[in-house]
């Protein structure tokens, strides 16, 4: 989003109206709104936390935070400290609100009990993301303003489109009132790692901040160098939600992370220093793979192949070879399903049925897997047959209808003044 003249998405309108309804008649205080997109990953998959390569695209589903700076809070003063030193957030989607004392952030950081009381336990999970960003901003030396923030979004939850990163980016920009930067992405990643307990890589946050419309973001997750690669003309992306919910903090995701660490420990005995699987070439792996027992060998094989696949995918996009790019997506799905074992029967069926539609170049599960969504890369104009084919297949096999999102690529997050007429 490169200009304040953008047409605001629906969540931004809801958040700004919600904020104005909660404010008193004094409209002189500084007000602004942040808009942060979700993302879908076209190639890669469990490569980000291995210091590898990814190729996501931001999509036009958003989380927005409308913020009024300097709002004084006269209620709950015993809990929130001196008058005017509180920061309050309201979630329109969850019908929930909470307040934290910005004069005593150390208490939340140092006391697990204080943090749990603040965030209200598992049922109010959104609070953990928000509070984590605030705590990490304070630790990084940012000046945290007092005020009131109202949050609204339309990124589907638990579906692999990274609603969490969009939430983190929206809160960060609303409080910081500055530009999107790689450093901001790293801060939001730390917030999710430390305060939500999700050991995610930086891809989601980086994409939400730094993407450009009409382009895929080729990111080196080790040094955070990136290029925005134009998508071929006449192509489109559809995301199909299987309806199978998943949580990144659940055991299977953590188990994959542990399997990678165990594999590295074994591999270092014969390869020498190996910082991450990013440093393991296909040629070297072929020579040493026999020292790994299953399923560790398969896990490493997936990551090594996936990194090479992303690099080749960039070349395919540059050459506008949509069919070749789609073949790489299918290879990625098969690897995630059989080597990394993070697919489900529903996701496999969506990919299978999508590939029978004329005009579809490729399809794969996206996100961490274990449920959630598939992304389909296709020619513009075949959205109707694609929807019909997948809906019939999933309903016939599993008795449920998927949610189909025909999406457009989007610019990364931005923050803008709120105009009174909104």
Catalytic residues: 204
Distances (CA, A) of 202 to 118, 184, 267, 283: 26, 10, 25, 27
Strand-strand pairing, 31-43 and 53-69: antiparallel
Query: Rg of the chain over CA atoms, in angstroms?
Result: 22
Report the C-alpha gap between 354 and 361 in whole angstroms.
9
Give counts: helices (H), strands (E), the chain.
14, 12
Q: CA angle, 156 as apex, 405 and 351 as ends, to 5°?
A: 50
Q: Which residues pair with 407 in a beta bridge?
A: 237
Question: Side-chain half-sphere of 81: how many Cα atoms within 13 Å?
Answer: 14
**Torsion, CA 221, CA 225, CA 231, CA 232, rounded to 10:** -110
Report the C-alpha gap between 381 and 145 in whole angstroms.
47
Strand-strand pairing, 31-43 and 403-407: unpaired
Report the C-alpha gap between 422 and 304 in whole angstroms.
49
């Amino acid at each position: 989003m490169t200009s304040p003249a953008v047409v605001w998405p629906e969540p931004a309108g809801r958040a700004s109206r919600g904020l104005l309804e909660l404010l008193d008649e004094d409209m002189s205080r500084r007000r602004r709104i942040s808009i942060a997109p979700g993302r879908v990953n076209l190639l890669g998959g469990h490569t980000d936390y291995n210091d590898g390569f990814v190729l996501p695209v931001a999509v036009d589903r958003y989380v927005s935070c409308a913020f009024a700076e300097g709002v004084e809070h006269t209620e709950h003063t015993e809990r929130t400290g001196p008058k005017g030193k509180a920061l309050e957030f309201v979630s329109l989607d969850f019908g929930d609100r909470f307040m934290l004392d910005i004069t005593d952030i150390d208490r939340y950081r140092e006391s697990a009990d204080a943090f749990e009381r603040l965030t209200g336990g598992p049922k109010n999970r959104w609070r953990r993301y928000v509070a984590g960003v605030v705590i990490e901003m304070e630790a990084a030396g940012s000046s945290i303003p007092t005020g009131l923030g109202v949050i609204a979004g339309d990124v589907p939850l638990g579906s692999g489109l990274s609603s969490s990163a969009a939430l983190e980016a929206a809160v960060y920009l609303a409080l910081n009132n500055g530009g999107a930067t790689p450093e901001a992405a790293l801060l939001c990643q730390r917030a999710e790692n430390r305060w939500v307990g999700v050991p995610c890589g930086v891809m989601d946050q980086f994409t939400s901040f730094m993407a450009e419309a009409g382009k895929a973001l080729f990111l080196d997750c080790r040094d955070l160098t990136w290029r925005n690669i134009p998508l071929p003309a006449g192509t489109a992306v559809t995301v199909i939600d299987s309806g199978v919910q998943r949580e990144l903090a659940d055991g299977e995701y953590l188990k994959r992370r542990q399997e990678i660490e165990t594999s590295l420990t074994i591999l270092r005995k014969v390869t020498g220093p190996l910082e991450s699987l990013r440093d393991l070439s296909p040629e070297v792996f072929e020579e040493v793979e026999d020292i790994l027992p299953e399923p560790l060998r398969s896990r490493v094989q997936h990551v090594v192949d996936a990194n090479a696949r992303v690099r080749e995918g960039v070349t395919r996009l540059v050459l506008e070879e949509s069919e070749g790019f789609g073949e790489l997506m299918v290879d990625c799905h098969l690897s995630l399903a059989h080597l990394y074992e993070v697919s489900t029967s529903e996701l496999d069926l969506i990919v299978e049925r999508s590939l029978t539609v004329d005009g579809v170049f490729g399809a794969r599960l996206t996100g961490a897997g274990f449920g959630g969504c598939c992304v389909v890369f296709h020619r513009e104009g075949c959205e109707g047959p694609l929807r019909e084919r997948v809906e019939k297949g999933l309903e016939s096999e599993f008795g449920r209808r998927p949610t189909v999102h025909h999406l457009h690529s989007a610019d990364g997050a931005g923050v803008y003044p709120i105009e009174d007429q909104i």
